Chain A
Amino acid sequence: MSRRRVVMTGIGLICALGVGREDVWRSALAGTPGAAPISGIEIGDAPVRMACQARDFVVEDFVDRRLARRADRVSHFALAAAKLALADAHLRVSDDGREIGCILGTGTGGNQVRDDNHQTMLERGVDRISPFAIPYSMCNHPPAEVAMQLGLRGPTMAMLTACAAGTDAIGTSTAVIRRGDAEVMLAGGTEAMITPLWLAGFDAMRVLSHHRDDPASAVRPFDVSRDGFLIGEGASIIVLEELEHATARGARIICEIAGYGASADAHHITDPDPTGQSQARAMRAAIADAGIAPSAIGYVNAHGGASRPGDPSEIAALRRALGDDHAADTAVSATKSMHGHCMGATGAVEGALTALAVADGRVPPTINLTDLDPECAGVDHVVGTAREVRLEAALSTNNGLGGHNAAIVLVPWKEQ
């Protein structure tokens, strides 16, 4: 029996670049910076005061008043992105919903709900904690709430592999469909980590950018003056469908999810393996799973976290996976320069942008890359503005704290 094929038929995107697939894609192609001084939330005396907030997101547009008040922003994003994705796919959930599941990546779940309740306990006592403290802060609340609101009764779970979670969620959802446990999966990630604790926690790790005066130029992947990332927020949820299910209902297919690979560095909890060999294994596994040659990869949406050690190790990994010659010809961009590091959602944001690049024949740029670090040379960096490229296949890759590496291969859909 031949393997079931999985295609993407809908995209729901919310991030600093906008709300909705078209909005975000237009901003990404235009090279729009999503960073700004943090506004609208109380961050106390946080050491870093800029981030890539989803400023255009209006919760009431997607979520009823009660849930808007009680649930965490991370779940608001997820519900909204799921609704956008279903609408984009023109998909109606069946009455029993048993053929549809949901896997969403997240880094830390409902931070604000947890922090508020913990503070309440410290200041007012253990009996003042809300009965919703656990359900609305647990990392699996976003996929559970999506399943509840939309009536999905297939496999549903949260995926936690830190910054690789969105990519692992898409890959694992693909596996769920391939093995026959679902016909459709809502896959992606959601994150709302712009909170005082995480601003302080990340800054203590010395991983956040301090280009204080100019948020728009702060995130500089592969640039010689890069000094870290800015926290992004939002959600990206895509509709994955078994091919025959999609064609039977006449769905418009965006691309095929052809391959998925995952590996572990087994090296260090925060620093990547400098040789990039484990990241390269995840990329090669995804390429092999897709049944294509490495030379078919025409574009890589890189992790590109603008970290001093991370960016060179990723380029080293790309060169290992694609071969030096082909790597030099491969278009590479780090869209985190625009939407920030959306943590558990970032792989899904970037996976969606990669899909749009494949479908559209246009590659979004890396912005703020004015002076390429020689240690990051060896690939064809797409700098500043979008570029038209006819793609045979594209790769989206991410790495997470703890040594998680994940990669997916997307290929254009041709009527067949």
Chain B
Amino acid sequence: MSPRELRERVVVTGIGLVSPLGIGRTETWTAALAGRSGAGPITRFDASDHGAQIAFEVKGFDPLTYIDRRAARRMDRSSHLAVAAAALAIDDARLEIPADAERYGAVISTGNGGNATYEDAHRTLLERGPDRISPVALPMIICNMAAGHVSITYGLQGPLACVLTACASSLHALGEAADIIRRGAADVMLAGGSEAAVTPYAMAALDASRAMSRRNDDPAGASRPFDAQRDGFVLGEAGAILVLERMDLALDRGATIVAELAGYGATSDAHHITEPHPAGTEQAQAILRALASGDIDPTSVDHINAHATSTVAGDVSEVRGIITALGAAHAERIAVSATKSMHGHCLGATGALEAALAALAVADQTVPPTINLANLDPACEGVDHVRTAREQAIRTALCSGFGFGGHNAVLAFTAVDA
């Protein structure tokens, strides 16, 4: 049991998801439990020249449902996704934001910011000259602008940041946002990430790094974490934002608590710019730090929403890291799922999307599956791989994220007694 005072404890009271599995918490969670895939051929641009021609796109999303037309025109899609996810999160938390919201802040991350706007602006520069660049290009491109728009749209006047660690970004965002509450600098934080990188250059450049699947003829089967036939990740887009609140204040207002964000651990591999350390040593340290930071009994870890991107090297090192951190005997009993099999790798938004699924797993005492796991890679053995949704007791759920550059982040969510 955590010895922290209630005012130093942070709980999740709202979840806003705009994901390849659906719009809204319920739609996404239902699809995840049903083991659906959100993948398909790329529709956002003509990808016929590209090596990787498939993606997990957000479908049926109209930014104007959430943002007025004039403001929407001055935002990149990455900001549309963030502002919409924030709206859904605030609604889900039944949060009334006061006019002087000085104790409300946001940490909204991304991998790459306004990709589509960057590509248009740079092309304009090259083809038509510097005097044709739009005055709103730069603000639409920079990575912190999704956070800025969330703050401006909802009047959040507290601490406002974007932390960026590639594919681990929005886990660091959630961890740092929770610390902002714990150290007394805010009472409520909107935290998460957004990413809209299904664009010609971002797709081509990611593909050039040789980390993407080229299983173009089988989009739904392409993202297959832990499977012997995996050949890389499949890009996804998403906005995923959680409402984090100081526990005593959440209880005072009668909020419905999804789970407690009880632990956060961050480490660095200091190993290689794109490859994880093969032994997962520092990933294991991040797990241990997350547990220690919340005084959480390691044997209470019943579920891990793994980073597992479906790359050959990454999935193996992750399982090794889990075994190193928690011991082989306990690791075998941990229900592990790689939900990227269903929603793809949403880069800077992926951590928050998976954290939301981990928190929902705790709330519902149900583990979502890894799909496409037909032939388990023997190198990924040693944990309890979950292939169809399963009801079970979950005391603590971990969510892991590892970014290019060797950034590791792990969050621990625990059940809160009603």
- Cβ of A132 to closest chain B Cβ, rounded Å: 8
- Asked if A156 and B204 sit within 8 Å, CB to CB, the answer is no
Given contacts A44-B130, A201-B137, A270-B139, contact A148 B271 (CB under 8 A): yes
One of B15-23, B370-378, B404-412 contacting the partner: B404-412
From A109, A154, A262, A267, contact of B268 by CB (8 A): A154
- Within A140-164, the residues touching B (CB, 8 Å) are 140-141, 143-145, 147-148, 150-162
With an 8 A cutoff between CB atoms, is A97 at the interface?
yes
- Asked if A126 and B51 sit within 8 Å, CB to CB, the answer is yes
With an 8 A cutoff between CB atoms, is B156 at the interface?
yes
- Asked if A402 and B148 sit within 8 Å, CB to CB, the answer is yes
Given contacts A101-B268, A198-B138, contact A157 B407 (CB under 8 A): yes
From A97, A121, A278, contact of B200 by CB (8 A): A121
Cα separation A265 to B293 with both chains bound (whole Å): 32
Return the chain A residue nearest B203 by Cβ.
A126
From B135, B166, B269, B282, contact of A138 by CB (8 A): B166
With an 8 A cutoff between CB atoms, is B313 at the interface?
no
- Asked if A129 and B204 sit within 8 Å, CB to CB, the answer is yes
A-B contact count (CB 8 A): 272
- Within A193-234, the residues touching B (CB, 8 Å) are 196-206
Chain B residues near A68 (CB-CB < 8 A):
none
With an 8 A cutoff between CB atoms, is B176 at the interface?
yes
With an 8 A cutoff between CB atoms, is A178 at the interface?
yes
Given contacts A115-B122, A153-B267, A178-B183, contact A134 B206 (CB under 8 A): yes
What 1/0 mask marks residues of chain A from 102 to 136 whose CB sits below 8 Å from any chain B CB? 10000111000011011101100111011111111
- Asked if A157 and B266 sit within 8 Å, CB to CB, the answer is yes
Chain B residues near A267 (CB-CB < 8 A):
152
Chain B residues near A5 (CB-CB < 8 A):
none
Prevailing SS type, chain B contact patch? mixed
From B105, B164, B207, B270, contact of A148 by CB (8 A): B270
- Asked if A147 and B102 sit within 8 Å, CB to CB, the answer is no
From B123, B205, B268, contact of A134 by CB (8 A): B205
Cα separation A144 to B164 with both chains bound (whole Å): 11
Cα separation A267 to B135 with both chains bound (whole Å): 18
With an 8 A cutoff between CB atoms, is A367 at the interface?
no
Size of the A side of the interface (Cβ < 8 Å), in residues, is: 88
- Asked if A130 and B137 sit within 8 Å, CB to CB, the answer is no
From A140, A204, A281, contact of B157 by CB (8 A): A281
Cα separation A58 to B62 with both chains bound (whole Å): 50
From B121, B133, B269, contact of A153 by CB (8 A): B269
- Asked if A141 and B405 sit within 8 Å, CB to CB, the answer is yes
Cα separation A114 to B113 with both chains bound (whole Å): 13
- Asked if A161 and B161 sit within 8 Å, CB to CB, the answer is yes
Chain B residues near A197 (CB-CB < 8 A):
121-122, 125, 133
- Asked if B179 and A266 sit within 8 Å, CB to CB, the answer is no
What 1/0 mask marks residues of chain B from 106 to 119 whose CB sits below 8 Å from any chain A CB? 10000110000011
- Asked if A140 and B405 sit within 8 Å, CB to CB, the answer is yes
- Asked if A269 and B123 sit within 8 Å, CB to CB, the answer is no
Cα separation A179 to B148 with both chains bound (whole Å): 27
- Asked if B285 and A153 sit within 8 Å, CB to CB, the answer is yes
From A127, A134, A148, A160, contact of B162 by CB (8 A): A160
Cα separation A162 to B139 with both chains bound (whole Å): 10
- Asked if A203 and B185 sit within 8 Å, CB to CB, the answer is no
Cα separation A201 to B273 with both chains bound (whole Å): 30
What 1/0 mask marks residues of chain B from 126 to 168 whose CB sits below 8 Å from any chain A CB? 1001110111011101111101110110111111111111100
- Asked if B51 and A127 sit within 8 Å, CB to CB, the answer is yes
- Asked if A264 and B164 sit within 8 Å, CB to CB, the answer is no
- Asked if A155 and B273 sit within 8 Å, CB to CB, the answer is no
- Asked if A155 and B267 sit within 8 Å, CB to CB, the answer is yes
With an 8 A cutoff between CB atoms, is B94 at the interface?
no
- Asked if A175 and B183 sit within 8 Å, CB to CB, the answer is yes
Given contacts A153-B270, A158-B163, A206-B135, contact A135 B142 (CB under 8 A): no
With an 8 A cutoff between CB atoms, is B4 at the interface?
no
With an 8 A cutoff between CB atoms, is A412 at the interface?
no
Return the chain A residue nearest B271 by Cβ.
A148
Cα separation A136 to B205 with both chains bound (whole Å): 11
With an 8 A cutoff between CB atoms, is A321 at the interface?
no
- Asked if B268 and A263 sit within 8 Å, CB to CB, the answer is no
What 1/0 mask marks residues of chain B from 173 to 192 whose CB sits below 8 Å from any chain A CB? 00010011011010000000
- Cβ of B374 to closest chain A Cβ, rounded Å: 30
- Asked if A130 and B208 sit within 8 Å, CB to CB, the answer is yes
- Cβ of A87 to closest chain B Cβ, rounded Å: 19
- Asked if B163 and A135 sit within 8 Å, CB to CB, the answer is no
Size of the B side of the interface (Cβ < 8 Å), in residues, is: 84
With an 8 A cutoff between CB atoms, is A381 at the interface?
no
Specify which of A107, A134, A206 lies most central, judged by the most chain B CB atoms within 10 Å of its CB. A134
With an 8 A cutoff between CB atoms, is A249 at the interface?
no
Chain B residues near A278 (CB-CB < 8 A):
157
Cα separation A97 to B268 with both chains bound (whole Å): 9
With an 8 A cutoff between CB atoms, is B224 at the interface?
no
- Asked if A144 and B148 sit within 8 Å, CB to CB, the answer is no
- Asked if B403 and A126 sit within 8 Å, CB to CB, the answer is no
- Cβ of A258 to closest chain B Cβ, rounded Å: 14
Cα separation A163 to B148 with both chains bound (whole Å): 13
- Cβ of A56 to closest chain B Cβ, rounded Å: 28
Cα separation A240 to B45 with both chains bound (whole Å): 46
- Asked if A201 and B138 sit within 8 Å, CB to CB, the answer is yes
With an 8 A cutoff between CB atoms, is A403 at the interface?
yes
Cα separation A203 to B133 with both chains bound (whole Å): 9
With an 8 A cutoff between CB atoms, is B390 at the interface?
no
Given contacts A144-B406, A148-B270, A155-B267, contact A404 B148 (CB under 8 A): yes
- Asked if A119 and B144 sit within 8 Å, CB to CB, the answer is no
Chain B residues near A114 (CB-CB < 8 A):
118
- Asked if B142 and A401 sit within 8 Å, CB to CB, the answer is yes
Cα separation A168 to B126 with both chains bound (whole Å): 34
Specify which of B112, B121, B205, B272 lies most central, judged by the most chain A CB atoms within 10 Å of its CB. B205
- Asked if A264 and B158 sit within 8 Å, CB to CB, the answer is yes
Given contacts A140-B165, A148-B273, A162-B144, contact A196 B125 (CB under 8 A): yes
- Asked if A168 and B135 sit within 8 Å, CB to CB, the answer is no
- Within A31-82, the residues touching B (CB, 8 Å) are 44-47
- Within A245-303, the residues touching B (CB, 8 Å) are 261-270, 278, 281, 285
With an 8 A cutoff between CB atoms, is A392 at the interface?
no
- Cβ of A220 to closest chain B Cβ, rounded Å: 22
With an 8 A cutoff between CB atoms, is A329 at the interface?
no
- Cβ of B157 to closest chain A Cβ, rounded Å: 5
With an 8 A cutoff between CB atoms, is B209 at the interface?
yes
Specify which of B102, B141, B143, B162 lies most central, judged by the most chain A CB atoms within 10 Å of its CB. B143
From B133, B145, B164, B201, contact of A401 by CB (8 A): B145
What 1/0 mask marks residues of chain B from 390 to 410 whose CB sits below 8 Å from any chain A CB? 000000000000011111000
Chain B residues near A151 (CB-CB < 8 A):
270
- Cβ of A283 to closest chain B Cβ, rounded Å: 14
- The contact sample of 8 A-B pairs, CB cut-off 8 A, is A126-B49, A129-B205, A134-B205, A140-B404, A156-B407, A179-B183, A204-B138, A265-B152
User: Closest 8 interchain pairs by CB?
Assistant: A402-B148, A144-B405, A200-B130, A264-B160, A201-B138, A155-B266, A156-B268, A262-B159
Other A-B contacts than A134-B205, A144-B405, 11 sampled, CB-CB below 8 A, are A114-B118, A118-B122, A129-B205, A135-B274, A135-B405, A140-B169, A148-B406, A265-B152, A267-B152, A285-B185, A401-B139
Interfacial residues, chain A to chain B (CB-CB below 8 A):
44-47, 97-98, 101-102, 107-109, 114-115, 117-119, 121-122, 125-127, 129-141, 143-145, 147-148, 150-162, 165, 168, 172, 175, 178-179, 181, 196-206, 261-270, 278, 281, 285, 400-404
